[in-house]
Every structure is written in C-alpha cells, then in structure tokens.
Structure 1
Amino acid sequence: AEERLAVLGESFREEQERHLELRNTHADLTQTTHDLRQQMNSFMAEHMSRQARWGESVELEEVRARLEDLHEQAETSRFELQAQLQDLRLRAEHAEALA
C-alpha cells in the first residue's frame, strides 16, 4: 500500500508539473498571440501610411508636373510679350522719327 501510495504521489507530482508547464505554455502562447496582433496592427498601419504617402507622392508628382508646364507656358508668354513690346517700341520710335 505504501509503495502504491508513493507511486500515486509521484504520478500526482508529474501531473502537477505537466499542468504547470501547460499553463506556462498557454500564457506564452497568449502573449505571443497578443504580440503578433500588435505587430500585425502596426504593419497594417504602416502599410496604410505608406499607401497614403505613395498617393500623396503621386499627387505631388502630378502637381509638380503641372507647375512645370505652367512655368514653361509662362516663359513662352513672357518671350512673346517681350517680342511684342520690342515691336511696339520700334513702331513708336519709327512713328516719332516720321513725325
């Protein structure tokens, strides 16, 4: 009976150790799951932020291209206006010379 009691006591201690290990494993898995969820949320937030920045970057690129076009148009208009102004000056000088 004592031997049986000793075997049962040893078996009980082993079961307690296994139970404790399982609880620790469960706690580790719970923490790991929590950490992975946080990492996933961070990744998704970063991904969305990158998407937004990429969208802004595309918009900024379009705005920059449009500004370059407008700058070129302004330069062309400036040259045309300078030519017209020069032509008007020459006409005015010519008219004064005839007068």
Structure 2
Amino acid sequence: MATMTISLPDPMKEWIEAQIKQGEYASTSDYVRDLVRRDRERRSHPELTLADLQRIVAESRASGTSDRSVADILADAKLVAAERAGRNA
C-alpha cells in the first residue's frame, strides 16, 4: 500500500479526528479511503448532478402531499432500484 502526505487546515483535521473518536472510522487513512470511494462512486454516475437533485426536490415540493402510504412508496422505490440494478449488471 502506498503512503501519501497531505496538509489540512486545523478545523478539517479536528473534524476527521472527531469522526474517529465517535467510532465512525478506525483511522485517518480509513476516513480518506472512504472519501475517495464515495467520490469515485459519485463520479462514476455523473447522470445525477446537484442541479438535478435540486430540481427533483423543487418538483417534489411543488407537487403537494401524497395520499399514498409510506409502505406503498417504499415498495415502488424497491422495484425501481431492482430494475436499475438489473440494467447495470
């Protein structure tokens, strides 16, 4: 495994150390590896941008309150996720 040295402002260093103390991560390296994994995942799916998410939220808010149950919505979401997983396999 390679070694890399980085410099961070004190508040960022303190944030990482706090995450480790809370048990979120085993070490600074574990935290940075997680950030890199998340960034790679986000960049591998560029079809959904921040602007897209903001538009989706705005449209959802504008559509009003649903009369569907949470269970129905969750069931539909699981179906969509399964369909998407099948297309990406």
- TM-score tier (shorter): under 0.3
Q: Tell me the TM-score normalized by structure 2.
A: 0.24
Q: Tell me the TM-score normalized by structure 1.
A: 0.21
Question: 1 or 2, which has the higher helix percentage?
Answer: 1
